[in-house]
């Protein structure tokens, strides 16, 4: 907990990717700025968590945790063989986020998991993924084309934390071709898209441990999920 004159410190997981800036081309820890903007606009202080040297004591100085979006989850993490469309995995990041998720849940630290983050939350708790969602729903509207966001509309289960934050219907920008398949026993599905895709889930028995499949950070005029995280972390 933080004092009344302090803003909650929110850790956000990052990518470890080849990057270019100025004259340099090197591996770097990256995160789209929209995540930082959303945390700041909601009243928090963002702290970046690179997927190296994982030490869960970092959570001792955090008031909340965001598991960010990104690349495909390695199917080996849920004992599956890779689909031809499963590419560009980062097993090191998977392990880093698994450890942080488990430690955050042990501490009951407020947790918001976004897109890949929801998938990692499910896998960490024993669930599995659809590796290529178009095989299941017969369309590609969740990821229309490279670097182009789709739009998803979801129906929210009443009486859930998700509903208290977002109401009966929600959604926003989406960009994913993987999604939850077998739901982990500790998760409760709280929203689905019209095609049945799991769009939100909560961890049973926790005050604020919520994941969404869409990207709320891409909608700066709707900060309800980030605001709820900050309030829970205060």
Label residue 54 exposed, middle or buried (CB < 10 Å: 0-12, 13-18, 19+): middle
Q: In angstroms, rounded to a whole number, what is the distance separating the alpha carbons of residues 105 and 92?
A: 20
3-state SS of the chain: helix, strand, coil percent to 5?
Answer: 30, 30, 40
User: What is the number of helices (H) and of strands (E) in the chain?
Assistant: 6, 13
To 10 degrees, the CA torsion angle through 65, 69, 74, 77?
30
CA of residue 230 relative to chain centroid, distance: 16
To 10 degrees, the CA torsion angle through 99, 101, 107, 111?
160
Q: In angstroms, rounded to a whole number, what is the distance separating the alpha carbons of residues 229 and 119?
A: 19
Active site residue ranges? 115, 215, 217
Question: Minimal CA–CA distance to 125: which of 204, 10, 191, 229?
Answer: 204
């Amino acid at each position: 907990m933080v004092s009344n004159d302090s803003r909650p410190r929110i850790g956000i997981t990052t990518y470890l990717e080849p990057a270019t800036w100025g004259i340099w081309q090197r591996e770097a820890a990256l995160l789209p700025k929209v995540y930082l903007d959303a945390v700041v606009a909601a009243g928090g202080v963002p702290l970046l968590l690179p997927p190296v040297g994982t030490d869960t004591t970092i959570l001792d100085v955090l008031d909340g945790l965001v598991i960010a979006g990104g690349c495909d989850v390695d199917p080996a993490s849920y004992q599956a063989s890779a689909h031809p469309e499963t590419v560009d995995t980062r097993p090191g990041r998977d392990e880093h986020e698994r450890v942080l998720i488990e430690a955050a849940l042990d501490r009951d630290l407020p947790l918001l998991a976004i897109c890949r983050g929801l998938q990692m939350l499910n896998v960490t708790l024993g669930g599995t993924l659809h590796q290529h969602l178009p095989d299941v729903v017969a369309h590609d509207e969740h990821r229309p084309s490279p670097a182009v966001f789709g739009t998803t509309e979801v129906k929210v289960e009443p009486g859930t934390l998700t509903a208290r934050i977002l109401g009966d219907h929600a959604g926003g920008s989406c960009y994913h071709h993987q999604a939850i398949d077998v739901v982990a026993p500790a998760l409760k599905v709280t929203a689905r898209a019209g095609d049945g895709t799991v769009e939100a889930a909560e961890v049973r028995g926790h005050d604020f441990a919520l994941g969404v499949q869409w990207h709320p950070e891409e909608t700066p005029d709707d900060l309800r999920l980030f605001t709820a995280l900050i309030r829970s972390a205060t």
